[in-house]
Amino acid sequence: MLKPVRIKFLISGLVAALAATFAVLAVHTGPAAAHGNVVGPASRNYGCFERWGSKFQDPAMQTEDPMCWQAWQANPNAMWNWNGLYREGVAGQHETAIPDGQLCSGGHAESGRYNAMDVAGDWKATSIGNSFTVSLFDGARHGADYIRVYVTRAGYNPVTTPLKWSDLQLIKTVPNTPAAQWTQQLSNGVQIDIPASVSGRSGRAMVYTIWQASHSDQSYYFCSDVNFGGTTQPSPSTSTPGSPSPSTPTSPSPSASVSTPPVNGSCAATHTVTSQWQGGYQGEVKVTAGSAAIKSWTVTLTYPGTPPIQQAWSATLTTNGNSAQATNASYNGSLAAGGNATFGFLASGSPVAPTLTCSAT
């Protein structure tokens, strides 16, 4: 029999552990309904949320995605609140308001919530060509007074060097654009796809985006790690998960999360629920090319009723009746035989498995 003092110690330790667990879980209340972020090429904090939001307690993050790991440990809210990185009252004086080395956190915005975004290191990089598209999601339909897209100059290495203003070269400016003119009109926001290009670039770099929202003097700042002409780094979500443990969230039931459509000659698509909270969930669709290479793809998601999708990324989405049609983005349409691409979305309500059909050219 354990002595009373030992029992007291075990109970107090258990209470402390449970309290810590609930404190972390309490952070995940679902993505906020307002503001926005660069979803392609994904910003640092949005990329971390996209890869790990459904398994934020998986210890594999520490070795497979160490930059997300350090950011998640510093402040989990930087990932759950991936669309809140902004400052007010800058009055266009971005270089004055934000010191060198703090560009990715918006000058330690939101009381330092996003400070870990400034840490130099081997962040997961999106592979892009010299012509690429920046996709900006606006959940509150603010629209833009302007949007500025920068690329770091040749020779800058985001793995070793925090970002400075002198590292940046402005390559694209989008003038005043009301939300009604953004390219995708979704039930929970809008998205604008901005074509951009550079010449003769290869290797690691960073795309830096400033979005000046129209509703007030509110400025958003996004760092997206890219690899010009390189190979896309594998996402942790495609790796084999380790043995489940009490600290690892359980996967949704197959009946609610996955549908396997019939395979046609050009491509096939599967649907997975990657995260769920009260009143909503995050889904992912994987598109796989058939026995021949394809140049583009379209996936139709057919639901029992009105499609619940509120926001999508890495695809252009349109709805009609009880179906939603997703067309590849500029950077993920071309697939080799047997190759695959994914797009994600946020939806309201409980998970629903749509019927999927895939066509390709």
Domain range summary for the chain, segments of one domain joined by +: 36-228, 253-360
Cis peptide before 41 (omega within 30 of 0): yes
Q: Are 120 and 179 in contact (CB under 8 A)?
A: no
Beta-bridge partner residues of 272: 284
Q: What tokens were used for 146? A: 């302007």
Predicted local distance difference test score (pLDDT) of residue 278: 64
Which residue type occupies 138? D
Q: Are 64 and 84 in contact (CB under 8 A)?
A: no
The vertex-157 CA angle with 156 and 159, nearest 5°, equals: 160
CB distance 61 to 52 below 8 Å: yes
Give yes or no for a contact between 299 and 323, defined as CB atoms under 8 angstroms apart: no
pLDDT of residue 275: 66
* DSSP run (H or E) holding 17: helix 4-25
Residue 313's SS3 state is strand
Q: Which residues partner with 25 through β-bridges?
A: none
Class of domain 253-360: mainly beta
Report the pLDDT value the prediction gives residue 263, as an integer from 0 to 100. Answer: 53
Angle between helices 66-74 and 44-52 (to 10 degrees): 100
| 172 backbone dihedrals φ, ψ, rounded to 5° | -155, 135
CA 275 → CA 52, 104, 111, 185, 346, distances in Å? 9, 26, 28, 23, 9
Strand 218-228 and strand 126-128: pairing? parallel
Q: Are the beta carbons of 281 and 273 closer than 8 angstroms?
A: yes
Beta carbons within 8 Å of 228's beta carbon, 6+ residues apart? 128, 129, 130, 198, 201, 202, 203, 204, 205
Q: Which H or E element spans position 64?
A: helix 60-64
Which string of DSSP letters, residue by residue, matches 196-255?
EE-SS--EEEEEEEEEEETTTTEEEEEEEEEEETSPPPPPGGGSPP----TTSPPPPPHH
Strands 267-277 and 323-328: unpaired
The pLDDT, as a whole number, for residue 276 is 67
Q: What is the pLDDT along the chain (361 residues), one digit of tens a residue?
A: 444 444 444 434 433 433 333 333 333 333 333 488 999 999 999 999 989 988 887 889 998 999 999 998 899 888 888 888 999 999 999 999 999 999 999 999 999 999 999 999 999 999 999 999 999 999 888 899 999 999 999 999 999 999 999 999 999 999 999 999 998 776 678 899 999 999 999 999 999 999 999 877 889 999 999 999 854 333 333 222 222 222 223 333 333 333 434 556 789 999 988 766 667 787 889 999 988 899 999 999 999 999 999 777 778 889 899 999 999 987 688 888 888 888 878 788 889 899 999 999 9
Q: Which amino acid is at 124?
A: K
- Closest C-alpha among 69, 111, 68 to residue 86: 111
Query: Quick one: tokens of 101?
Result: 């080395």
How far is it, in rounded angstroms, from Cα 280 to Cα 312? 14
- d(C-alpha 158, C-alpha 207), whole Å: 11
| CATH number, span 36-228 | 2.70.50.50
Q: Tell me, what amino acid is at 271?
A: H
* Residue pLDDT, tens place only, 158-182: 999 999 999 999 999 999 999 999 9
Amino acid found at 265: G
Say how far apart CA 167 and CA 206 lie, in whole Å. Answer: 10
Nearest CA-CA partner of 204 in 128, 296, 263: 128
Q: Which two tokens stand for residue 227?
A: 């690899």
- What's residue 71's pLDDT? 92
Long-range CB contact pairs, 90-99, < 8 A, 24+: 90/217, 90/219, 91/217, 92/212, 94/210, 94/219, 94/221, 95/165, 98/221
